Structure formats: structure tokens, C-alpha cells
Chains A and B, each alone.
Chain A
Amino acid sequence: MLPFDYARATDVDEAVNLLAADTNASYLAGGTTQLDLMKDGVLAPERLVDITRLPMRGITRDDDGLHVAALTTMEELAADSTVVEDFPLVRQALLLGASTQLRNMATIGGNLLQRARCRYFRDPGVAECNKREPGSGCAAVADSARMHAILGVSERCVALHASDLAVALVALDAVVHLQGMSGRRSVPLTQFYREARTSPDVENVLVHGELITGVTIPFLPATATSGYLKVRDRASYEFALASAAVALVTQDGTIGQARVALGGVGSKPWRSLEAEQVLTDAPANEETFREAAAAAVQGAWTLPGTAFKVELAQRTLVRALRNISGVAQ
């Protein structure tokens, strides 16, 4: 057996202190990623600090938006009345993101920290993985498969960030709230993740011991339309080959505000300011959408197996924009 200690924290300070004191410790929330990786021998923490009893549950709303405590489950958030009414984007991403069983276990904080679904990363029998062993190389690049990312990647690592929820949240300018040994801070989700091409093994800005305590999701303007479109081989229970989270504020056929994020293609949930720039102040039509889509995949880095995602991501984005704008083809 791989022995590890288990501690259950009762408040946030205790949890942070327990972790900060032990560089080989990890937090345990829903466990839907952490335990899989431990069973597969990818992660071997010497101590798990169970945070599931911390007072970090519940959803509140005020003028700033929706405040979601980190231990809220995916299912709880999807069922929240404000989410149902005002955040279709979030609800769709949650429902398409996991089965009911997983949604009942997985937490919002944990979802944002889910690890790459790369089968090379998840098999310790594969020696070359810069994400597991910095400097060891990347077997996935040599043996190309179609599930990898094309944005924010390089020959050092092509691993995909597979979350659906995070794609919706970066589009919505969500902010994550953190607490660590040096206090509290809040980070826009768009600045939370790091790209695999620069740091395969460091996926976000968290320092050791820092805990996600909650997420704030600002409201979109009341006139905005939004939606999440997920494209995959089978009808359910699969990560996205491409997905798009989009929101538009349109007046008299002209786009006033736009939000665009792509999933299934990035080493992080991929907000595309380039696409938003094309859309903003442009007529809401197919041509604009195509131009925005082309802008969104600028800089794609592909393998033979992933080259199709450049086209698929664009078509997915165009369809998502068309769906929410009512523009006919």
C-alpha cells in the first residue's frame, strides 16, 4: 500500500496551516480527480487534509454577482435558482460536464483544479511527461492522439484542461478567492491558469497551501444572451473535442459586448479577447462570427491528430454565436 496520513480540518485556518506545514500534503474535497490519480500512482501525497467539513458551502447573490463557496457541489450549483434563471451558460456547462453521480461528489473549487486528462500524464509507466517529471519530455507529442490541446501548448506539453465549467467561468470574468499562509487574495480566473507551453508542471498561480474558498461570478448585462455548446463524439459522458462559451449584447444588429471562451482546445480554459475584439461593434452576422472564430484560434499549435480541432473549434464557435444571436445561416 501507499501509506498516507489523513487529517480532517475543521476550519479554514487549520486547513491552511496543516498544508503549509507539509510540502507533501494535499487537500481532499470531492476526490473525483485526486483519488483517481493516487490510485493510478500519479500522485503520492503523504498526507491528505480533508476539507469537506469546512464551512465553505452555499450560494449567495448580491449586486456584484453570485458568490459560490468552494465546497458547493456541481449539482448544487446547477440546481441553484439564480443559475437556472441568470446563468444558462454555467448551468449548461455543469450539466454537460459530468454525470449526476460525479456532479454530486465534485466541488466547484475542485473542478477548477482538475488535472489534465492526458493518458500519458495519467500513466506513470510512461517515462516522458513534463507535467509529472519536469524535463523528462512529452510522449504525447511523439504519439499523437486527437484529445490533446492546440492552444497554449508546445512540444513540451499538449495536455488539455478538460473542464467545461471553467470555460464558462472565464467567459463570465469570474474571480476566485484564495486563502493561504500570507492571507487572502482574489484572482480573476482569466489570470489564474498558466499555459502548458510555459510551465507544464505548474498549472495555476496557487502557492502551496493556498486554498480556493469561493468564486464570484459577475452578472452579465440584463440584455445579454449567452450559451454553452459542447461538441464530442458521443452524446454524453465525454470531454469536449471543442466547446464554446459565448455571450453577446446586441442592439439593432450591432454587437455591443461580447464574451468568448473555448474549451476542448486549450491547456487552460481559453478566453479569446481577440475574438471579442472582432465581435465588438461589428454587425451580428455569419461573416463577423467567422472572422471572430479565425481570430480565436490564432497561434494554434497542432499535431497530426489534433489539426482538425482548428477547424472544429471555429465551427463550434460560429454555431454557438449563431445559436444565441438568432442569426440565420
Chain B
Amino acid sequence: MSLVEAPPAIGAGIDRVDGARKTAGAAAYPSDFDVHGQAHAALLQSTVAAGRITAIDTAEAEAAPGVLTVITHRNTPRLPDGPATDIGTSPPAPLQDERILHHGQHVAVVVAETREQAVAATRLIKVTYDASEPVTRFDDPRAERVDDPWGMDSERGAVEEALASADVKVSATYTTPDNTNNPLGLFATLAVWDRNTLTVHDTTQWPTMARATLAKVFDVPESAVRVLAPYVGGAFGSGLRVWQHVILTVLAARMTGRPVKLVLTRPQMFTSVGHRPSGVQHITIGAKRSGELVAIDHRSTSSVAMEDDDFEPLAASSAVAYACPSVITRDGQVRLNISNPTSMRAPAEGQGNFALESAFDELAHTLGIDPLELRLRNYAERHPVSGMPWSSKALRECYEAGAERFGWSRRDPAPRSMRDGDELIGYGMAGVGYPWYAVPCRARATVNADGSAFVRSAATDIGTGTYTVMTQVSADVLGIALDRVRFDLGDSDMPPSPQAGGSGLTGALATAVRDACLGVVRRVLDLVSEDAGSPLRGCALEDVIVGNGRIHRRDRPDEGESYADILTRHGRQEMTVDGASAPGDPSALGMAFAGAFGAKFVEVRVDADLGVIRVARVVSAIDGGRILNEKTARSQIIGGTVGGIGQALFEETVTDARTGRIANATFGDYLIPVNADVADLDVLFVGEPDRATPLGTKGVGEIGLVGVAAAIANAVHHATGIRIRSLPITLDELL
């Protein structure tokens, strides 16, 4: 199979195969689906953050025009929670009792003939609360603290002693606010029961998990549930769980005997589908005068809901970021009366890197060493904990190529030293190592008698390019032209796939797709093993190469046959084979599995009087292993960078401490970067295929975001001399 080693489609920056469909409006997102006879649901949410419902009067709503039913905790059946997943528990079942745990909690669902009737009727429901004072602050003495929730705290060396004897120390506290994922696509669910089978169109990053959850909650076999998500209008992590509104929509459909559709409103998106939790991080770094690190002490606390969980070990990655003999990382959570956080693009890493790489810049400034040079002096050539060589690591090349492209050498190290008229100019940078993540995956490949191929898996493409990239992998492994290959996803009836998350899908899915496609070639060779006239008779997989819809002998490349000829001769309509992938075992391979690495270089312009901050340009140098599609990968990095600019300068979900209400739950009030804020974003890929995976890929879905906030904060310090340790960085802090 030589073509896998020298692939024509893999790596090429081909256009998205779904691009034309999306541009033409032909791609159906979850909110686009309608079925005959459907009813519409609308949610009523709590206006207090803690306490209990003492009375709920639904009579007027039930009598309102078009209303079919009103669902509250009083008529909701006891529902079990969904199953635990690889990344945590399911959200607790909704409407199970009268308790209120956060502002914006669903307290009732109205089902009506039209959406407008349902929304109007929610305003007729009278809820009486016995409200109590919510716990909304980290420093509230009533706030329950959870230490080491994930068992990931780490310690090596002797941090206390090393810090005591360090030539130089920096120690600071960094804070990051709640951020809301805010995909453009409003989350939507359409639930259709047909006797005891359930079909659900849903905004999800993980149909396989959604199926398992709905089957358990509604006590039906998984085979009776089908979850569809062919297109998802973004998610950034908020589609990794089966949220309560999904359960409520399915429940409403069962209670009314009608298909039911629910589309969240934008304000509801702020409390219903997760957010990046606020965090407080304390970091102390000790170093020798030479810049050599002696110790890192990184401790974090982030917020979580009262009765749910979230995976946010902000400090954990600091254990492996640099060659440093003594490191402590500690992560904890406090339980607040807030809606539950969830993964938001680069969960934990996005916040933790901001603190570590800001502190590193402070150390460089204190030592009088160039920030880039300081990172190189502490470069982790081997995995700092296991001591094993990395499966791939081109972070040094990221630093070098990024610095060259950016013009880092033009930086005058003195803060406030570079100026253009009213604008102070700042250069800042940060390094990133994204954790490796892999999970099992399955895929199915079919080659048809007409020579076309159909490959599928229950994955999702949340805008990342999965459709396109997997089409490329299938085409290359099968040796069939791109336009003769269809890759499909977003259907839980397809072979199970992991989530589009953790920067892990491309590696897991591409490997499974490759396995399935190789299986097809193998089975087609089996077909001709007894064919006296076939030039491929007796050939094993190793003996052939593929291309142009044909299989050829490796030793005599001009001899071969097409898939179409072989299948037709054997009277086969098609050949279908399932494939699978599973995470490798690092110790068996004797190497530390690496995720992507990156170096971020940023120029900011800060108005010297007005404090207005604008990002002038960003250079991202990325080691993503083998890049399967240069164009979609570049788009991933650009999109991540925009998210990083938002995290750095704009995004903050403001919760009123007194009431627990989110004060800015609209796109007019919650700022994300607009086009005018996104200037020149340059991306370059460096490095080699990773040695630990068959295709050599490393996920690039999140590395684009990480490091941008620190690089901007460092650039703002360079421009102004003001160190901002709290995100977002806003002009009022620079006046």
C-alpha cells in the first residue's frame, strides 16, 4: 500500500466537500428540520438562583390558545440520569423536584401548536419561589470546595526548597471569567416517537453518546434510538453533553404523542448548554539567574455547578510544559449557584496557558532575558514526567519559524519603547503544548460495483472539516478519485464514533477510516484469490498499490484491475468492511504521545491616551503532525485565534453576584470579535508526521486558541508597561 505513504489527496488544501451545500443553504442544520404534525416547545426558566418553588400555577397557560400541555416538576416522571461518559457524568435529569440551583434553570416546558403560542404561554405561568441567597462568589464561606476532583494533581522534586533557593522568583494571581461558547447555530432538538422507537435531530458533537443517554433515560434499547446531526452550526464544546432541554423535548414528545421541536433562544444559550468556567490561578516560578527553571508551583480553582461536574484541570499541563526539576500542580473547584460549565474550545488549557505563559513573560522581564530565549533555555526535549522521548515535538521549530515570520528580532525589549503616533506598539509571544487525547472509533467503508465508495461513521463535523478530510483519507487509502468517494456522518446508526472534541476526532476517525478502507482492499483481494485470469491472484495487501479506482501489483505496476471489474465479475453489488481504531499504548511504544505544539506571536496597538487595544497581527506556528488538509487546518487555526482574541479582549459572561443572573446574555452585550477586530492572522505549519499514529496526525482543533490570550497580555505589557492578569483585558485598565 504505497499510496498511503505518498498520498495525493491527503495534505492537499482541497475545498470543503460540503462547502457548496452550505453556501447554497442546502445543508440542513438541526433547527432546519420539520416534520408533519410537529408541535413546538418553549422553556420557562427560573428567575432566582437558589431556593425552591413553592407554587406553580399553569392553569392560564394550559388554557391559552394552541397549548397542548405544560410540563413542570409536578408532572414529570422520575427519570434516571444518563450514563457516565469518558469525559464525565451526564447532566442530572431535569424537573425532578422543586429545588432551584441556578438562575435560568428550566422550571417549565410549554408545548403548543406554534412556537409563538408556546413562548406566549410561558409568560402566563405563575411561579412562586422561596428564594434563598445564592452562592455566587469563590470567597463565599458557604461555597463547597472540591480538591483534586479528577485525581490529576501532580508533584515532582522539592518545590518548596527549590523556590527558597531560587535566584529569582515571580509569583502572581491570574483570573479568567466565565465565557460562553456561543456557537452561531442556536441549539435545536426535534424529537419523534414512533411507538417505542425514537428519532432525534439534535445539536450534538457526539451522536453515539446522545443515543446511549436517551436510551437509558427513556428506558428503551439503544437500537430503538436514532440521533441525527448531519450539520452542526458550531458548538465549541457545548454539544458534548445531552443537556436538559434535549431530555425535555423528548419527554414532551412522549407526553403529547406528537413530534416536538425546541429551539433555544440566544439568552437561553447562556444558561442551558454550558460555558467555560471562571478561574483563579496562583503561580510561582523560581529560576536561576541564567534563566534555568528550578520550580513551578501552579494552583487553580474554577467554578462548577452545585450538582454537576466539569473537567477543567487548569494547572495540570504546567507539569509537562517545561524541563523543570520541581513542579507542583493543584486543581480544585468551588460549587456555586450557576448553570453548569462545560468544555469550551481548549477547556482548561485556554485558561491554564494564560497564567503559565503570562508568568513566564513576567519571569523573562524580571531576568532581563528575551521571552523566546527563556523558553528555549527550558525546552523539554523529553517528556518531563515520564522521561520518554516524544512521539513528535517540533516546538523549537515553531519558535524559530514563527519568530522569523513575525520579525521578533525587531522587538525592543523595553516596555513602552515602540510607538507609532498615538499608538503604543507591543510584541508578545507564548508557547503551547496541547495534550494528546485518543479514544476508540469505528468506521465502515463500502466500494460499490460502479467503482464509487461510501464511507461513514457516527461522527460530527462541527465546521472543522471532517467531511472533507475523511473523504481525502478514504480516497487515498482506496485509490479512488475524490469525486467518486462520499463520506457521511452525523447518524448514530453508523458505526460508533467518539465526540468531535479534545482535538481527538481526526486521529481516531482517520485511523478507523483507514482500517476500514484497507479492509475493503483486503477483501477484494480475497475475492480474486482463486481467479485464474486475475493479475492480482494471490496478492496480499503488501503486494499491491491502488490508484484511479484500480488495484495494481506492486512488482508489476502495469498489471491490475479495477474495483468495478472485480466486483461485477463476482456478482457483487458492493464490498463493505468495518474498521476500528484504538489508542496506542505509550509505554509499549516507548515514547510519550504528543499532541500539537505551537508558538504564538502577537502585535498589539494600544492608544496611549484612550487605552483602546487592537490586535494588529498574529503569527501562529503550529506543529500538528501530518496536516491532512492544509486549507481546513489553517481555517481551524484562524478560527481558534479569533476565539483567543475574544478570550483575551472581549468575552466575559457577567453574573450578578446578588442574584446569580447573567447580565449580558445577548450578542449585543456579550462581545465577541467582529471582522474589524480580526486583522492579519498568519499560520504556518512545521514539524513531521507523529510517530505514534498510522497517519501521523495530531489534532489541531484547539491549539489555535491556546496561547493567544497570553501572547496578547504579554504584548499589552510590552506596549504599555502595564501587566494585566485578569481577562478580558479592557481599555479601562490601561487608562
Contacts and interface: CB of A to CB of B under 8 A. Distances in A.
A296 B656 CA distance: 31
B668 interface: yes
B609 interface: yes
B410 interface: no
In the complex, which range does the number of interface residues on chain B fall in?
A: 35 or more
B663 A120 contact: yes
B11 interface: no
B732 interface: yes
Given A1-B117, A119-B663, A319-B610, A146 B671 contact: no
Nearest to A146: B732
A94 interface: no
A2 to B, nearest CB: 6
A312 B610 contact: yes
Nearest to B657: A143
Contact of A315 (B114, B610, B666): B610
A319 B609 contact: yes
A6 interface: no
A117 B668 contact: yes
B120 A312 contact: no
Nearest to A308: B732
A245 to B, nearest CB: 16
Contacts of A41: 123
A84 interface: no
B116 interface: yes
A125 B610 contact: no
Nearest to A44: B123
B650 A233 contact: yes
Interface string A103-136: 0000000000000010110010110000000000
Given A119-B663, A308-B732, A235 B656 contact: no
Contacts of B657: 143
A312 to B, nearest CB: 6
Interface string A136-162: 000100110111000000000000000
Nearest to A235: B676
Interface string B641-667: 000000001100010111101011110
Contact of B674 (A117, A237, A315): A237
Given A119-B666, A143-B658, A145-B654, A2 B735 contact: no
B664 A145 contact: yes
Given A308-B735, A315-B610, A315-B735, A143 B659 contact: yes
Nearest to B730: A233
Contact of B120 (A2, A231, A311, A319): A2
B65 interface: yes
B677 interface: yes
A235 B674 contact: yes
B675 interface: yes
B609 A315 contact: yes
A241 interface: yes
Interface string A76-116: 00000000000000000000000000000000000000000
Contact of A142 (B65, B612, B658, B669): B658
A279 B458 CA distance: 70
A311 B650 contact: no
Interface in A290-317: 308, 311-312, 315-316
B338 to A, nearest CB: 15
Chain A interface, >50% SS class: loop
Interface string A224-240: 00000001111111110
B65 A235 contact: no
Interface residues of A, number: 33
Contacts of A68: none
A299 B119 CA distance: 44
Contacts of A329: 422
A169 interface: no
* A126, A233, A315: residue with the most chain B Cβ atoms closer than 10 Å: A233
A1 B676 CA distance: 38
A260 interface: no
B673 interface: yes
Given A234-B650, A234-B677, A237-B674, A126 B661 contact: yes
Nearest to B672: A234
B671 A241 contact: no
Contact of A234 (B422, B656, B673): B673
A146 B65 CA distance: 42
A123 B609 CA distance: 35
A142 B47 CA distance: 17
B640 to A, nearest CB: 18
Contacts of B120: 1-2
B731 interface: yes
A235 B730 CA distance: 13
B718 interface: no
Contact of B663 (A117, A143, A234, A236): A143
A237 B669 CA distance: 10
> Which has the most chain B C-beta neighbours within 10 Å: A125, A145, A231, A329?
A125
A62 B65 CA distance: 56
B731 A125 contact: no
Contacts of A117: 668-669
A146 B120 CA distance: 32
Contacts of A319: 422, 609-610
Contacts of A119: 663-666, 669
A264 B731 CA distance: 14
A237 B116 CA distance: 29
Contacts of B47: 125
A329 B607 CA distance: 13
Nearest to A127: B47
Contacts of B675: 236
A125 B661 contact: yes
A150 to B, nearest CB: 13
Interface in A199-234: 231-234
B731 A235 contact: no
A312 B732 contact: yes
B669 A147 contact: yes
Contacts of B732: 146, 241, 308, 312
Nearest to A232: B612
A262 to B, nearest CB: 14
Contacts of B658: 142-143
Interface in A6-61: 41
Nearest to B646: A234
A318 interface: yes
Given A125-B47, A315-B609, A319-B609, A1 B116 contact: yes
A134 B169 CA distance: 56
Given A125-B661, A142-B658, A233 B735 contact: no
A234 B669 contact: no
A241 B669 CA distance: 12
Contact of B609 (A147, A237, A241, A318): A318
Interface string B511-546: 000000000000000000000000000000000000
Contacts of A239: 668
B614 interface: yes
Contacts of B610: 231, 312, 315-316, 319
Contacts of B649: 233-234
A147 B732 CA distance: 12
A133 to B, nearest CB: 15
A231 B659 contact: no
B62 to A, nearest CB: 16
A132 to B, nearest CB: 14
11 contacts: A117-B669, A119-B669, A120-B663, A146-B732, A233-B671, A234-B674, A235-B614, A236-B677, A239-B668, A241-B732, A308-B732
The 8 A-B pairs at the shortest CB distance, nearest first, are namely A235-B676, A143-B656, A308-B732, A236-B676, A1-B120, A125-B47, A1-B116, A315-B609
Interface of B: 47, 65, 114, 116-117, 119-120, 123, 422, 609-612, 614, 649-650, 654, 656-659, 661, 663-666, 668-669, 671, 673-677, 730-732, 735
Given A120-B663, A125-B661, A308-B732, 6 more contacts: A119-B663, A145-B664, A146-B732, A231-B731, A312-B731, A319-B422
